[in-house]
Structure formats: structure tokens, C-alpha cells
């Protein structure tokens, strides 16, 4: 490992293991987005195979391909939607596969997205790069675009993976330790409490949202310690690895003034604003709904609104029956799910910074200044174009998928839009449409999950990598918009 890490980029190691590592690093470094696609597709195929095996199902029978594939995508993409009863359908072995799948999927996406994030943040301004690349630059020996700045350094993936996995283990253990005594208190056995608290904490941190016990969250519906533990796990997973890393760094050096990058500040502020907005909207819209929040008193309503606001962002746990929510709350949830969590996180959606960049662009335009600004930093224009691309990508997938699901199921827009956005943003909340969907719709939703998770994460990196020189310019002309 160390030998490989120290090896120069152009010296192929001599041991076979060294060569494998070298090749993986080369591939990941040269095209991280294609690497991410390959990793996710392979994982899904392997897990589909595992889920079809009779040993995985409680009834020892072969699970149909559509259900096995859907479960594999849902597990690896840490979505939490299901076409079968997750607590009852799978055997003990099946549950272990689910557990391992969400850990691999969750930690994998954190690592891959962090790599892709590095690629993007290392991207030079195009202007600077063009100057560096231009033939008139005496410092340059050969022509063509400069791409070295974008490559990931050898050994970085391994060390990143270790840091991510360590963070995940620490956070999941903390959450499990909060949950464990509550499960004992609710009368679960020591064995069940141990396993289920680990399962719950993994489902929280990876933002998956499956429940191991048949009754789901019903026994814990008013156990505020249990639900708070879930919220902590979900937020830690959804806020994104760059934020976790920055918090850890700042905790370590307590003497100095904390240092936050623009990305971390933007993520934390937007994340918090959306959390509070959802909280208030649920309280207003559902406060008087006897089927959801009205009956158990205002204190419970305030807590459950906060819980819903957290879970709508990608957590996927729900105490209330989604079907009992008003249409207005479903629409609010749709919007929160679509935005999702932070970049390089286990959460889905277009990501909070994407939304923030769009608003900063509108703000800059309204103020009449040339550059987008936040926290005394200028944000380059190409970031806006990546943000626009991500939103168009998301809107197109959701629109196409919703129209298709509506045409197949003939269900209501309420339900179809909700489950499609939940799939796209890998949130996992459901109106029940997914569970009862005909097979073609199941495949459409599986594709939606895959495109939502893998597509959104890799799109930005793929775009950032596609820079090339532009050696001529067309004359400028201005269309009218709006």
C-alpha cells in the first residue's frame, strides 16, 4: 500500500496486488465519474444475484427478478423504497445482505462523491487554464488542454475511504448506543436490541430508512430519545462528508478560531434554513389534521413536524402514515425531497448547495453585480452552469418518470409524483404506490433511483472534467428571456 502510494505515476508496480491497486487508481483518477458508474453498476448486479437466492428469502424461495433488482438498487443507492415487506420477506442471511449493502452503498457513495467533489474543487478556472494551455505561454512545452490539475493523486482514495469509514463507524456507534437502551426499555430482548440498534443506526447514518422489526417505528412513535437518535444519525449522513470533516478538524484544534470553507458554510446555512422551513410548514399544514398531528397535543406536533422535516430530506423514516398527510404537505415534502441534503453525503436530491447557487445567481442579478457572492467569497460562473445542469437533469428525470408511472399505474399525481421524487432523491418515503406498482413501473422506479443517485453525483464531476479549449469565438448576441 505504502509502496504503491509512494510509487511515481508512471512506474507500474511489480507485485500483482500492487498492479491491481495501481490500475484501480489510474482508472479512478483518470475518469472518476466512469469509475463511480462502474462501481455502482457492479454492486447492484452482485446484490441482485444475492437477493434472488432462495437462502436470502424467509420462505426459502427464489425472489422474482423485479423485486430482487429493485431491492438491490434501493439498498445500494440507500433509498429505502421497497416492493416487498422488508422486515418479513428476507431471511436472517437476507437481512445481513441488506445491512452490508447499505453500509457499502452509503460509505461508497460518501467516498466516491468526495473524490468527485475534489475533482470539481480542484478544477481551475477555465480562463486560467486556457492561458496555461495557450501556445503563447512560454512555460508550456506542449500544446493541448491541461488536465493534470484535475487528476486525483495516487493513494488519496485509500486514505479517503479510511477516513470516511472511520467517521461512519464512530457516528453509527454513537447512535446505536443511544438506541440500544430504548429498545431494551420497550421490551425487546438483549439479542434483538443489540442487532436492531446497530441496524437502525446504519439505516439512519446511510439515510436508508428501512426498519428491522415488523412493527417499524410504531412502538417508538412517542419515544423522543429514540427518534432524536435517528435524527442525529440522518443529519450526520445527510449533511455531507466535507462538513463532517470540517467539524472534526475544528473540534481537534480548539485553541484556534474555527475555519469553515465556503462550501461548508453554504451547506450548513441552506440545510438549516430548509429544515426550519419544512418544520414550520408541516406544523401549519398538518397541525389541524386529526389523522396526523392534531390528536397528541401541541408538544408532540412540534416534535413530529421537526422529525418529518428531517426525514423528508432523505432519511426516509416515518412515524406518520404518508397517506394520511394532506396534499399540501405531500407537495412540500416533494420539494424538500427534490432538494435533498449536502454534497458528498448519503442523502439524495439535487443537493442544497445547488439550490443555494441558483438563488445566489438571482440575488446577484437583482443587485446588479457581476459575480455571485456568499460569505465574502466570489463563486465562479461555471459553478452556476453546473448547478443549472444538475437541476435540469433532475427535473427531466422526475418529469419523464412521473408521466411514465402515471401512464402505467393510472394512480393519482399526488402519489406518483411523491414516490418518483422519493426514488429520484433516494428518500424512501412512500405513499404505498411503490409497494403495489405493476412490474413495468417497478423497473421505471428502479431506473429513477439509479439515475437519481449515481447520475446526480457523477454528472457534476463529468461536466467538470469535460473542459476543453476554445480557439475561436462567435460574435455575441443577446436573446430576450422572461
Q: Which residues in 411-440 contact a copy of itself (CB under 8 A)? A: 411-414, 416-417
Alpha helices in 15-58 (DSSP H): 16-30, 32-52
Binding flag, residue 263, a copy of itself (CB under 8 A): yes
Cell of 19: 498492479
Position of cell 441482485?
48
What part of residues 205-244 is at the interface with K ion (CB under 5 A)? 207, 209
What part of residues 111-170 is at the interface with a copy of itself (CB under 8 A)? 117, 120-121, 123, 125-127, 130
Residue 317 sits at φ, ψ, to 5 deg, of -75, 145
Q: What is the Cα–Cα distance from 63 to 56, expressed in whole angstroms?
A: 8
What part of residues 300-329 is at the interface with a copy of itself (CB under 8 A)? 326-328
Binding flag, residue 316, K ion (CB under 5 A): yes
Burial class (CB in 10 A: 0-12, 13-18, 19+), 435: middle
Residue 36 sits at φ, ψ, to 5 deg, of -60, -45
Count of chain residues binding K ion (CB under 5 A): 5
Binding flag, residue 351, a copy of itself (CB under 8 A): yes
9 binds, among K ion, a copy of itself, none (CB under 5 to 8 A by kind): none
406 binds, among K ion, a copy of itself, none (CB under 5 to 8 A by kind): a copy of itself
Q: What is the Cα–Cα distance from 50 to 41, expressed in whole angstroms?
A: 14
- What SS3 class is residue 443? helix
Residues 6 or more apart whose Cβ sits within 8 Å of residue 214: 87, 88
Residue 434 sits at φ, ψ, to 5 deg, of -60, -45
Cell of 373: 457572492
131 binds, among a copy of itself, K ion, none (CB under 5 to 8 A by kind): none
Helix (H) or strand (E) holding 377: strand 377-379
Q: Mark 54-83 with x for binding to K ion (rule: CB under 5 A) and - for no binding.
A: --------------------------x---
Contact between residue 231 and residue 310 where contact means Cβ atoms under 8 Å apart:
yes
Cell of 360: 445566489
Choose, by CB under 8 A, the member of 343, 431, 434, 448 that binds a copy of itself.
Answer: 343
Q: Smallest distance, Å, CB 56 to K ion?
A: 21
Residues 6 or more apart whose Cβ sits within 8 Å of residue 22: 4, 7, 12, 13, 154
Cβ proximity to a copy of itself, 187 vs 475, nearer residue = 475
| Cα end-to-end span (Å), the chain | 56
Distances (CA, A) of 212 to 202, 233, 236, 321, 352: 11, 16, 21, 18, 30
Choose, by CB under 8 A, the member of 91, 213, 323, 389 that binds a copy of itself.
Answer: 389
Q: Which stretch binds K ion (CB under 5 A): 108-116, 199-207, 252-260, 302-310?
A: 199-207
Binding flag, residue 428, K ion (CB under 5 A): yes
Count of chain residues binding a copy of itself (CB under 8 A): 94
Choose, by CB under 8 A, the member of 21, 353, 426, 430 that binds a copy of itself.
Answer: 353
Q: What is the Cα–Cα distance from 300 to 280, expressed in whole angstroms?
A: 14
Cβ proximity to a copy of itself, 95 vs 129, nearer residue = 129
Cβ proximity to a copy of itself, 57 vs 402, nearer residue = 402
Binding flag, residue 105, K ion (CB under 5 A): no
Contact between residue 193 and residue 183 where contact means Cβ atoms under 8 Å apart:
yes
428 binds, among a copy of itself, K ion, none (CB under 5 to 8 A by kind): K ion
Q: Smallest distance, Å, CB 367 to a copy of itself?
A: 7
Binding flag, residue 20, a copy of itself (CB under 8 A): no
Residues 6 or more apart whose Cβ sits within 8 Å of residue 153: 29
Alpha helices in 287-323 (DSSP H): 297-310
Q: Smallest distance, Å, CB 121 to K ion?
A: 26
Q: Smallest distance, Å, CB 295 to a copy of itself?
A: 19
Binding flag, residue 225, a copy of itself (CB under 8 A): no
290 binds, among a copy of itself, K ion, none (CB under 5 to 8 A by kind): none
Q: Smallest distance, Å, CB 117 to a copy of itself?
A: 4
Q: Smallest distance, Å, CB 74 to K ion?
A: 9
Contact between residue 405 and residue 416 where contact means Cβ atoms under 8 Å apart:
yes
Q: Which stretch binds K ion (CB under 5 A): 192-200, 227-235, 273-281, 309-317?
A: 309-317
What part of residues 182-221 is at the interface with a copy of itself (CB under 8 A)? none
Count CB-CB contacts under 10 A for residue 323.
Answer: 14
Whether the CA torsion 2, 343, 45, 80 is positive or negative: it is positive
Q: Smallest distance, Å, CB 438 to a copy of itself?
A: 15
Binding flag, residue 12, a copy of itself (CB under 8 A): no
Choose, by CB under 8 A, the member of 356, 397, 427, 446 that binds a copy of itself.
Answer: 356
Residue ranges in contact with K ion by CB under 5 A: 80, 207, 209, 316, 428
Amino acid at each position: 500500500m505504502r509502496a504503491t502510494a509512494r510509487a511515481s505515476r508512471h512506474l507500474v508496480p511489480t507485485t500483482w496486488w500492487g498492479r491491481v491497486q495501481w490500475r484501480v487508481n489510474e482508472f479512478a483518477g483518470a475518469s472518476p465519474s466512469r469509475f463511480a458508474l462502474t462501481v455502482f453498476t457492479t454492486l447492484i448486479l452482485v446484490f441482485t444475484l444475492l437477493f434472488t437466492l432462495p437462502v436470502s428469502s424467509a420462505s426459502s424461495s427464489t425472489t422474482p427478478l423485479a423485486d430482487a433488482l429493485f431491492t438491490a438498487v434501493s439498498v445500494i443507492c440507500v433509498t429505502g423504497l421497497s416492493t416487498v415487506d422488508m422486515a418479513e420477506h428476507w431471511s436472517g442471511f437476507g437481512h445481513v445482505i441488506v445491512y452490508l449493502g447499505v453500509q457499502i452503498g452509503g460509505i461508497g457513495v460518501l467516498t466516491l462523491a468526495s473524490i468527485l467533489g475534489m475533482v470539481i474543487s480542484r478544477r481551475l478556472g477555465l480562463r486560467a487554464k486556457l492561458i496555461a494551455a495557450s501556445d503563447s505561454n512560454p512555460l508550456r512545452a506542449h500544446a493541448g488542454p491541461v488536465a493534470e490539475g484535475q487528476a486525483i493523486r495516487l493513494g488519496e482514495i485509500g486514505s479517503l475511504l479510511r477516513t470516511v469509514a472511520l467517521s461512519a463507524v464512530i457516528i453509527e456507534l454513537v447512535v446505536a448506543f443511544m438506541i440500544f437502551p430504548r429498545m431494551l426499555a420497550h421490551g425487546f430482548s438483549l439479542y434483538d436490541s443489540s442487532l436492531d440498534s446497530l441496524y437502525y443506526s446504519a439505516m439512519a447514518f446511510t439515510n436508508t430508512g428501512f426498519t428491522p422489526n415488523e412493527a417499524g417505528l410504531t412502538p417508538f412513535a412517542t419515544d423522543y430519545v429514540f427518534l432524536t437518535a435517528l435524527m442525529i444519525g440522518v443529519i450526520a449522513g445527510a449533511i455531507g462528508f466535507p462538513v463532517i470533516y470540517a467539524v472534526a478538524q475544528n473540534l481537534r484544534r480548539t485553541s484556534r478560531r474555527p475555519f469553515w470553507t465556503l462550501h461548508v458554510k453554504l451547506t450548513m446555512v441552506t440545510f438549516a434554513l430548509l429544515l426550519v422551513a419544512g418544520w414550520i410548514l408541516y406544523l401549519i399544514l398538518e397541525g389541524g389534521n386529526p389523522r396526523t398531528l392534531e390528536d397528541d397535543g401541541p408538544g408532540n406536533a412540534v416534535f413530529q413536524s421537526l422529525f418529518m422535516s428531517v426525514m423528508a430530506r432523505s432519511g426516509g423514516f416515518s412515524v406518520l402514515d404518508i397517506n394520511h398527510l394532506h396534499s399540501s404537505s405531500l407537495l412540500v415534502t416533494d420539494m424538500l425531497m427534490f432538494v435533498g441534503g449536502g454534497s458528498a453525503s448519503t442523502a439524495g436530491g439535487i443537493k442544497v448547495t445547488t439550490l443555494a447557487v441558483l438563488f445566489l445567481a438571482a440575488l446577484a442579478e437583482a443587485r446588479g453585480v457581476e459575480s455571485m457572492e456568499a460569505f465574502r467569497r466570489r463563486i465562479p460562473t461555471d459553478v452556476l452552469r453546473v448547478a443549472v445542469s444538475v437541476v435540469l437533469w433532475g427535473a427531466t428525470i422526475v418529469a419523464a418518470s412521473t408521466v411514465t408511472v402515471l401512464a402505467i399505474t393510472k394512480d393519482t399525481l399526488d402519489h406518483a409524483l411523491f414516490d418518483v421524487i422519493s426514488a429520484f432523491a433516494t428518500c424512501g418515503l412512500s405513499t404505498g404506490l411503490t409497494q403495489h406498482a405493476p412490474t413495468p413501473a417497478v423497473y421505471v422506479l428502479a431506473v429513477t433511483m439509479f439515475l437519481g443517485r449515481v447520475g446526480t453525483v457523477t454528472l457534476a464531476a463529468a461536466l467538470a472534467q469535460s473542459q476543453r479549449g476554445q480557439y475561436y469565438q462567435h460574435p455575441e448576441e443577446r436573446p430576450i428571456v422572461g
